Amino acid sequence: MDMSGRRKLIASALLLVLLAGLYALLRETGALTTILDANTLHARVVQVGAWGPLVIVALMMLAILISPIPSAPIALAAGAAYGHGWGTLYVLLGAGAGAMAAFGVARFVGYAAVQRWFGSRLSVGLVGSQNALMGIVFVSRMLPFLSFDIVSYAAGLTVLTFWRFTIATFAGIAPTSFALAHFGSEMATGETDRILLSVLALGGLTLIPLGVKLFRDWRSGHKARGDRDSG
């Protein structure tokens, strides 16, 4: 291993220790319990006044970099504290910054190693297509059952450029961030009908990528049948 490889290995080890230490600190101090409860977190964010938005952004970043920390309660607390407009902005800033940081870490630590292992195979097919990778990142951001953190780290190991990753990430997380912040804002009002509508809207957003895929599959199948009939 050359000197550059050793530096990257040391840097990655230090980063892992730092993130693990932060997570342990959050657990030991009880801060993690607060983060997991949107209502309690909302109250604490309001208490810190002007520092509240910075707390939301920082916590969203941590939630992306440290997988065990969920981001949904933070987004709900942001909406409850600042409404769906400003709440969405703070959630977007934090989630986007966290995703870019995770991408940068993976690119710095592991990209060269992946290139050495797979070589020219990384530039073939979907793995080597900037447009395809950008589309995959965009769609994955709208699917709640796919890990936001893992996608961010994994993207850093591909040939996808930083700016394409950033655009796809912000475009993909904007609808869900708004929905969560709006849901948090409605929860703060305590109006049942409005909360129900927000839940239905959030569920509908998660079905958009599936609907697009089904429509494209239907069109492809319809076109293939048409070509066979014409032939």
Q: Model confidence over 70-101: pLDDT tens digits? A: 888 898 899 889 988 899 999 999 999 999 99
pLDDT digits (tens, 9 = 90+) for 5-60: 677 777 777 888 888 899 999 999 988 999 988 889 999 999 999 999 999 999 99
| C-alpha distances out from residue 67 to 114, 152, 198, 212, Å | 22, 11, 26, 28
DSSP conformational letter for 71: S
Between CA 92 and CA 111 the distance in angstroms is 26
What is the rounded average pLDDT for all residues in the chain?
78
With H, G, I as helix, E, B as strand and everything else as coil, classify residue 51: helix
Give the chain's domain count: 1
Burial degree of 21 (CB within 10 A; 0-12, 13-18, 19+): exposed
The pLDDT value given to residue 189: 62
Global pTM value: 0.74
Between CA 143 and CA 214 the distance in angstroms is 15
Domain that holds residue 50: 3-230
